[in-house]
Amino acid sequence: MAFSSSVRKFVLSSVALALLATLPLANAQEADHPGDKPLVVGSDFGVAPWIVRGVNGPEGFGVDLINEVAKRLKRPSVEIVDVNFSALFAALFAKRIEFTVNPLNITAERAERMVFTQPIMSTGNGFLVKAANDMKGFDDLKGKAVAVNRGTLSDTWATANAATYGFEVQRYDTFPDSVQAVLTNRAFATINEVPTTIYAASKNKAIKVAYKDFSASRNFGYAFRPESVEYRNKVDDVLKCMKMDGTVAKLHEKWYGSVPEAGSALVTTYPGYGAPNFKGYVPTAPAPVCK
C-alpha cells in the first residue's frame, strides 16, 4: 500500500517527537551521573567497619565496595561525602550526592521515595552493653535508657517499643556517640545493625554484644533518586558481577573477619533489578555482562 506524502510526513514527525521526548531524561541522567567525573556518594563515616575515617581518608568494607563499583562503572574516582544519617536523604534529594552508600536498610516506606539496588548485606538489631552487664531479652531493658543513632531503623524500633518494654530512648547523631553513652553509664545499651555492633565489640573489650534480634529480617542496599532508575540498573549489574566472582565475599572476610553465610545477601544474586518485593523492583533483566 502506498502512503501519501502527508501521511509519511506525519509518521516521520511523530517518530522524531518520540525520540526528542527521551532526550531530556537521557541528558538529565548524564548530568546527574557524569561518566567522566568522580562518583559522588554519601555515607555516615561513624559506622565501623563499613566506613570510618582513617589516616588517609575513609576506609572500610563500604569504601572498598564502592571503589570497586566505580572502577567497573569506569568512573575516574570516588568522592564519599560524610553525612550524618539524619541528613542523608536531604543530601540525596538535593543532588549533593548521586546515591547513598552507607549501611541503609531497605524498607517499604523508603521505597516509596527512592529506588534501591538489590540487597547487599543481611542484618538485624544488635544490643551493645558494658562487658560487666548482660541482656537476655527485651524485658531486661525495663527502667533503663537505650541509646540509638538518630533516624535509623534501630531508632524506629526503640521508639515503637519503648512503652511496651518500659525503657527510655536517647538519640545521638553518630554511632560512636551512642557507644560513648553506654561507656559513661548514660545508657544501659545501644542498638545498631548486628554486623556493626559485633565489629565495635571486637575493638573494645569494655563492651559486648549481649543480644541479637533477627526477628524482623532486613537488608542493606544503595538508594537512588526515583529518576535514576537507569543508573541504578547499571550499579545493580555491577553488584551482581561482584557477587558472582567472589569480590563481595572477599571484602566481607577482610573487614568482618568471617566468610559470608550461605544464602545471605552478600552472596545471593537476585533476579531483575532492585530489591524484590519492594516498589521500584523490576523482576526481569538481561544477564549482566561481567568483565
User: Mean of the pLDDT values across residues 121-126?
Assistant: 90
Are 147 and 187 in contact by the 8 Å Cβ rule? The answer is yes
Q: What is the DSSP letter of 282?
A: B
Half-sphere exposure of 149 (CA within 13 A, CB side): 27
Q: Which residues contact 285 (CB under 8 A, 6 or more apart)?
A: 233, 236, 237, 271, 272, 273
In the prediction, which pLDDT does 28 show?
A: 57
- How far apart, in whole angstroms, are the C-alpha atoms of residue 290 and residue 204? 40
Helices and strands in the chain: count of H runs, count of E runs? 9, 12
Alpha-helical runs (H) found in the chain: 5-32, 61-72, 88-93, 108-111, 153-165, 175-183, 194-203, 229-244, 247-256
Owner of C-alpha cell 533477627: 214
Check for a shared fold between 35-121+220-256 and 123-216. Answer: yes
Q: Is 72 helix (H, G, I), strand (E, B) or coil?
A: helix
Q: What is the DSSP letter of 273?
A: B
Which letter, b or e, does each residue of 142-163 get, where b requires 16 or more Cβ atoms within 10 Å of its Cβ?
eebbbbbbbbbbbbebbeeeee
Residue 16 in this model has a pLDDT that exceeds 80: no
Q: Is 47 helix (H, G, I), strand (E, B) or coil?
A: strand
In the prediction, which pLDDT does 30 show?
A: 73
**Angle, helix 229-244 to helix 5-32, in steps of 10 degrees:** 60
Give per-residue pLDDT as tens, 31-53: 899 999 999 999 999 888 999 89
**Angle, helix 61-72 to helix 247-256, in steps of 10 degrees:** 160
Owner of C-alpha cell 564502592: 66
Give per-residue pLDDT as tens, 229-282: 999 999 999 999 999 999 999 999 999 888 888 888 999 999 999 999 999 999
- How far apart, in whole angstroms, are the C-alpha atoms of residue 193 and residue 218? 10
Percentage of the chain modeled with pLDDT above 70: 90
Are 187 and 149 in contact by the 8 Å Cβ rule? The answer is no
Domains of the chain, by residue range, sit at 35-121+220-256, 123-216
Superfamily assignment of 123-216 in CATH? Periplasmic binding protein-like II (3.40.190.10)
In the prediction, which pLDDT does 48 show?
A: 83
Instruction: Name residue 41's beta-bridge partners.
Output: 80, 99
Rounded to 5 degrees, φ, ψ at 183 are -65, -30
Pick the CATH number of 35-121+220-256 from 3.30.70.270, 3.40.190.10, 3.30.420.40, 3.40.50.620: 3.40.190.10
Within the chain, what is the greatest distance between any pair of CA atoms? Answer: 89
